[in-house]
Structure 1
């Protein structure tokens, strides 16, 4: 399959690695790097719809899954209306757990799943359920990834402080001012541009986890979201404003967003510094995966999620997506793909980031 796009002089090795990824793909992908406002890598290739044989185009949108969390973290930093030290109850009186805003944003609140039958796409109902729910541990005492509940909680905090939904805030704070092809609650007129998601035969979640009892908890956390291709490819999923999982965007727009963040053009310096410092770290209490979080952003961790750079922030996405900034190199990057692979066998983003680092 052909690779399209351009690279700046000195980044040819990145194109070679990307070409190898596309050559062995069932689906498609895109990889972009923006440095100080200049696009130095913009590549795409493969199939946006493997079943129909539709090629990936320059403007193909891809579901970002948890890359959405980084987008919403950028909104939180840009608005700077939530005090991370304040109790959630200060903004949301019905919330019963003794958790702070910072604990919600750094995945230590102890509310990793909705403990009742629910529609995972009904964000208002899920938020109301979580407000009444007792945490699994004392908030702040353990770190464990909150794959969907992060979105319900943060979106409700934003609604309480701004009166706006998460999708509107992504549009008004990020997409429109910075001309980003980025959407939370993707409108129908863009459906034809969205890549169809496919799972590799061995795709699975929580690849660090062996304990069967905690595996059952993890299954509750994901609520069946990644069990089949049907839901994640549905219009209903794309329309939902899941502030943890359902945004769509292009690699170029995501790389541009992180470049703008690193350059101080989205959030004030103090707010970004606060959001990108360590608020929680350790081995996930449920998933056994090493974690390090800022306020909604993932940070450079012991397993090299963000490549060789010692300082990095961003957010990965289920199946292989990787989006972030290397502040010291003054750049943003994004790898998007519609072919979901298991974390323990997927080397695509890691190889691209290692090659990018060498090219700098």
Structure 2
């Protein structure tokens, strides 16, 4: 199996990381990339496997995964949205502790007058699905219609009293807050504040000219969502939350409509290099005080819907008891459906990204954990001094 391996820092232990990555590629019916950057500079770049799905891992590769390969990040998008929120704080345009209704008066309806921006970002509002959903096949890409429905909607619990992952509604809520504060969409802000200044391949609203670079996503056999959940009644809520995005006979992540749309909870598209570079440079992009506030614990506990252990900052996932971000206690970032993961080990100055088109169920997916388990060896060996 062909693997492109770039060791940009002559790192001790690099060969071991390549072996782990190669073993994963050899098991895959798709492709993947794992990149590690330090302060915007590449240290490790690994690419392997096939952009096109194959019937068996041993089948011939039609199109090699390369540094230019783009893929849908699913909820990895939320971390980029969190970075934009932090940048707006630095510009004095957004105050996390203010009520959402200060910026968006209609949101005060149905007992939500005191809900803060921080509660939206930390997944404690209690608006985990849109009720009623706007009609139409592509209504989930209509941020304005979904935001209007959420503004009128009553939360499932007293905001701030429970934490539950707002898988899709996070995007509608933050998109509307951004629009009220700046007059711009989430995709425009990502382009203006993040992608263009840092020259990164990160898009929320993919230009048509780049469509040919996007790897088709596919679900591996046995793929499932919310694998920690056993309660049948809450399973119905989960199905309502994810019905259009991850379920069904076809995967909408492979449609140009979704690629062009600005689904701020899960429609972002990027390369692994771009996401690793972004997380490695957040400390220079966002002020130290704002970033420290965004990556401290704002909510944690067992997800009230999914029964999964959660720990959130302001839009960022934080290191959790199940080891999502490896052994670094200060780690933060955001994962995506099917196994992608993007984040930072800030004490080491590292940003990393694992991007793949083969979606595995969380309870069976060990790919990122295996790769992150090797990184401390590189650090201890002095390779990242």
Change (3 A) 1:232 1:215: same
Give matches, 1:50-129, under 5 Å: 50=53, 53-80=62-89, 81-95=93-107, 96=109, 97-98=112-113, 99-118=115-134, 119-129=139-149
The answer on 1:15 being equivalent to 2:18 is: yes
- Gaps of at least 5 residues in structure 1 are none
Q: TM-score, length-normalised on structure 1?
A: 0.97
Structure 2: distance between partners of 1:16 and 1:94: 54
Name the counterpart of 2:38: 35
Partner of 1:47: 50
Deviating beyond 4 angstroms after TM superposition, the runs of 4 or more aligned structure 1 residues are none
Alignment check: 8 A CA contact 2:330 2:346 kept = yes
Which of 335, 338, 344 lines up with 2:354 in the alignment?
335
Contact 2:11–2:378 (CA<8 Å) still a contact in 1? no
Please list the CA deviations of residues 55-84 of structure 1 after superposition, one character each: whole Å capped at 9, or x if unmatched: 212200010000000001011111212211
Q: Deviations over 1:38-59 (max 9, x none)?
A: 3111111111112583221220
Name the SS for the 1:75 alignment partner: helix
Once the two structures are superposed, residues 241-261 of structure 1 have per-residue CA deviations (whole angstroms, 9 ceiling, x without a partner) of: 011100100111000000001
| Cα distance, 1:358 vs structure 2 | 2.2
Contact 2:245 2:251 in 1 (8 A): no
2:256 is aligned, of 232, 235, 257, to 235
Q: How far apart are the structure 2 equivalents of 1:107 and 1:60? A: 31
Q: Which has the larger radius of gyration?
A: 2
What residue number does 2:58 align with?
none
Please give the alpha-carbon distance, in whole angstroms, between the structure 2 residues aligned to 1:357 and 1:284. Answer: 30
Is 1:280 aligned to 2:299, yes or no? yes
| Equivalent in the alignment of 1:167 | 187
1:253 aligns with 2:274: yes
Matched residues in 2 for 1:353 and 1:255: separation? 13
For structure 2, which runs of at least 5 residues remain unmatched after alignment?
Answer: 55-60, 380-385
* 8 Å contact from structure 1 (residues 13, 359) kept in 2: no
RMSD: 1.1
Counterpart CA distance in 2 for 1:205 and 1:141 is 25
2:377 and 2:365 mapped to 1: Cα distance? 20
Moved more, 134-143 or 72-81: 72-81
In 1, distance between residues paired with 2:15 and 2:299?
A: 37
Q: Higher mean Cα deviation, 33-42 or 298-307?
A: 33-42
Of 292, 309, 312, the residue aligned with 1:293 is: 312
**Per-residue Cα deviation, 1:91-131 (whole angstroms, up to 9, x for no partner):** 00011223111100000000010011332111110011000
| Structure 1 CA distance for aligned equivalents of residues 195 and 39 of structure 2 | 18
Q: Distance in 1 between matches of 2:198 and 2:369?
A: 28
Aligned residues of 2:217 and 2:251 also touching (Cα < 8 A): no
Query: How many angstroms apart in 2 are the aligned matches of 1:9 and 1:260?
Result: 20
Secondary structure of the corresponding residue to residue 305 of structure 1: coil
Among 26, 30, 41, the residue aligned to 2:29 = 26
**CA deviation profile, 1:214-247 (whole Å, cap 9, x unmatched):** 0000111113311144311000010110111001
**Greater mean alpha carbon deviation, residues 72-81 or residues 209-218:** 72-81
Tell whether 2:160 aligns with 1:140: yes
The number of residues matched between the two structures is 358
TM-score (norm: length of structure 2)? 0.91
Q: Would you say the 8 A contact 2:133–2:149 is kept in 1? A: no
Tell me how far apart the structure 1 counterparts of residues 133 and 302 of structure 2 sit (CA, whole Å). 29
- Cα distance in 2 for residues equivalent to 1:231 and 1:243: 15
Equivalent in the alignment of 1:322: 341
Q: Note if contact 2:218-2:251 (Cα within 8 Å) is conserved in structure 1.
A: no
